Amino acid sequence: MDGVRLLRLGRRLTDLGRELVGDPASALPAGEVAVISDVFRHPATTVQEIRARTGFAQSHVSTCVARLRERGLLDAAADPADGRRTLLTASERAREAVLARAARPAEPVIAKAVADPDRARRVTELLDELAGLLLP
């Protein structure tokens, strides 16, 4: 396998994954995805901390946070140590949505991409094996 083929395979797997877990009806703009992803990785965080980690302008982060709060995807609470700061955490609704999407089985998407049922099963087995070898 050469580097170009590996990149092509990675893109194809990414496309299949997006097809599986994507929900076009509730798609978020890229900036909001980056912000909520950061909050998932760093719960009880501030706008300033998100700004530092993402590299976005503070005004952009603040706008994304406001929109995500309006959608019910982020919860905000006063910092108990410093009431002037607001701490942001992914809402229960957001966590449930992520878990529901992550739990979707990949077999239907793989079966659509690989028409032969035996080959689709083999692809699924190989992907499971690769995930075991390459993912922490």
CB 31 within 8 A of CB 56: yes
Residue 81 exposure: Cα atoms within 13 Å on the Cβ side: 4
Read off the pLDDT of each residue in 16-34 and give the average, rounded to a whole number: 77
Q: What is the DSSP string of 65-126?
A: HHHHHHTT-EEEEEETTEEEEEEEEE-HHHHHHHHHHHTS-SHHHHHHHS-SHHHHHHHHHH
Assess whether pLDDT exceeds 90 at residue 23.
no
CB 77 within 8 A of CB 98: no
Query: Hey, what CATH class is 28-104 in?
Result: mainly alpha
Token duo for residue 113: 């991409």
Domain ranges for the chain, please list them: 28-104, 105-136
How remote is the C-alpha of 73 from its chain's centroid?
13
**pLDDT tens digits for 51-100?**
999 999 999 999 999 999 999 999 999 999 998 999 999 999 999 888 88
- Judged by DSSP in three states, 45 sits in strand
